Amino acid sequence: KAAPTAFDGPGPRIAVYHGADAFLQNEYARALRESLQEELGEDAVETFRYDGADTPIADVLDECRSFDLMQRHKIVVVDNADTLIAGDNRPIMERYAAAPAANVTLVLRASRWNRGNLDKLILKVGVIEKCEPLSTAKAAGWAVKRAEKRHDAVLTREAATALVDRVGADIGRIDAELGKLAAAAPAGEPITPEIVREFVGLSREDEVWIIQRALTTGDPEVSLRVVNEAMRISRHASQLVWWAEADLARKLHTLARLLEEGVPEHTAPRQAKFWKQDEFKALNAYARHAGSRRLADLLARAVELDRRAKTGYSDADRACELLALAFADPNA
């Protein structure tokens, strides 16, 4: 008898969801279950769960092969599946994949997955999906679609970008914030960047990076808006904002000096202690434009403004605003 294919019976016989994004793994598994329930009926699908780290492979495969008296379709979910099929267990799983049980979908979930002959066998009867964190651009696109599909809300592209700026590309966290934003938006109106900034707070680490990225745009309006939002909306102390500005001036000065010494653009930002690789191009351009001497002056100005604010010669919030404007045109 020929081995079954992915199209024999409802759903795939085996589904592998692997990678660092646990939320995406859950989303794939949820979509699979909903698809089977839609095809077979909500009560015609039953789920069984195992932890591959402490469950013998024989127990998992016995569950797959055992007959359900109610003739329901089984979904057998195994977390930490990479541990389950390690070593001598891998040939056992390969033999099962060559002739999987009917009316059963075996779902293998793992943060790590070693490719091999097992993959070829699985792809004949099922699917393998890699679940890695999205880039910021893809996360924003995902948020727009998710808002419409799951939260019955319209999220503008600008608002999606603002949301990712605040919480990062973690789609689990994005989804949690979307529920709050959908409830906050006026009936019949889209979720705007203003609503995002009002209802989605930032951690200190997030706030520092948002400030620093705005300061390197060269746009005084953007720089001032972000600095003021940090102090007045997120309620962060002016000292945190000043630290973000001074820290950026120090790193940019180091970066400019490295570039002037001939260090390659793909390695210089890391040596200057910048970590977000998708921002390297913009940082390199800013550092080259400003130059190490001007950035040294900017750092000195940051120290002087801090001294004046602490000794009462200048308002701390005003000092942060002045420094933000200096970043907008370091050559002034």
Residue 152 shares a structural domain with residue 220: no
Helix (H) or strand (E) holding 293: helix 292-310
Q: Is residue 7 part of a domain?
A: no
User: Of 130, 151, 168, which residue sits at a domain end?
Assistant: 130
User: Of 153, 182, 199, which residue sits at a domain end?
Assistant: 199
User: Of 199, 214, 237, which residue sits at a domain end?
Assistant: 199
Burial code (b: 16+ CB inside 10 Å, e: under 16) for 12-46 equals: bbbbbbbbebebbbebbbeebbeebbeeeeeebbe
Distances (CA, A) of 245 to 158, 219, 239, 250, 298: 25, 15, 10, 9, 10
Domain CATH number, residue 182: 1.10.8.60
Q: In the chain, how many domains are there?
A: 3
Q: Give average pLDDT by consecutive 10-residue segment, the chain, 332 residues.
A: 47 93 90 92 91 94 86 91 95 96 94 93 95 90 94 94 87 89 88 89 73 90 88 73 89 95 91 84 93 92 80 79 85 57
Q: What is the DSSP letter of 86?
A: S
Helix (H) or strand (E) holding 223: helix 220-232
Residue 193 shares a structural domain with residue 267: no
Residue 259 is part of which domain span?
A: 204-328
Q: Is residue 4 part of a domain?
A: no
Q: Is residue 43 part of a domain?
A: yes
Q: Is residue 40 part of a domain?
A: yes
pLDDT value, residue 241: 85
pLDDT value, residue 4: 41
Is the CA virtual torsion 263, 264, 269, 270 positive or negative? negative
Residue 215 shares a structural domain with residue 166: no
pLDDT, tens only, 134-190: 888 999 999 999 999 989 999 999 999 999 988 888 888 899 899 889 988 888 899
Contact 188, 159 (CB under 8 A): no
Q: Is residue 291 part of a domain?
A: yes
Residue 182 shares a structural domain with residue 216: no
Residue 247 shares a structural domain with residue 304: yes
Q: Is residue 8 part of a domain?
A: no
Domain CATH number, residue 285: 1.20.272.10
* 199 CB burial (10 A radius; 0-12, 13-18, 19+): middle
pLDDT value, residue 275: 78
Q: Is residue 5 part of a domain?
A: no
Residue 176 shares a structural domain with residue 290: no
